A = this chain, B = another copy of it.
Amino acid sequence: MTDGVLNVQNALSSIEEHWQPHRLTSINDYDVKVVRMQGEFVWHTHPDTDEFFMVVEGELTIQLRDRNVTLGPNDVFVVPRGIEHCPQAAGEVRAILIEPKGTINTGDAGGDRTAQLREINEVAR
């Protein structure tokens, strides 16, 4: 039985695929997601919401149209709503994402990188 405490590293280790966000928990109508990333994602925008990134392991580049930002472990960056961005990870990156429930990973871009939000397996909690 779980006591409700969730370990971010265990949750990340239970994920097998890159670019597949899994819901760890929620804060009201916001989802706290964990994701493993490697390679380049797609350029996209979330017109209606900011997107919070926190790197747990690895080095993540978030490409913006006017610059790139690079995040290492314990670094946080918020992509403001409406700002086009494209995450890129040369090596594997493990991260936490926070955004309102229903936010789609590919934003307004859609396409075959669009992932349905999955749940972290109970065992990993």
Stretch at the interface among A14-22, A35-43, A64-72, A109-117: A64-72
- Is A124 an interface residue, CB under 8 A from the partner? no
Q: How far is the CA of A39 from the CA of B84 in the complex (A)?
A: 44
A28→B4 contact, CB < 8 A: no
A28 touches B50 (CB 8 A): yes
CB <8 Å contact, B25 and A78? yes
User: Once the chains bind, are B76 and A49 in contact (CB under 8 Å)?
Assistant: no
- Among B24, B51, B70, B99, the residue within 8 A (CB) of A76 is B24
Contact A75 B4, beta carbon cutoff 8 Å? no
In the assembled complex, how far is the CB of residue A33 from the closest CB belonging to chain B, in whole angstroms?
12
How many copies of the shown chain assemble into the complex? 2
Which one of A24, A25, A27, A69 has the greatest number of beta carbons of chain B within 10 Å? A27
Contact residues, A51-84 vs B (CB, 8 A):
51-52, 54, 56, 67, 69-71, 74-78, 81
Q: Is the CB of B81 within 8 A of A28?
A: yes
A122 at the interface (CB under 8 A from B): no
Chain B residue nearest to A25 in the complex (CB): B78
CB distance from A31 to the nearest CB of B (A): 11
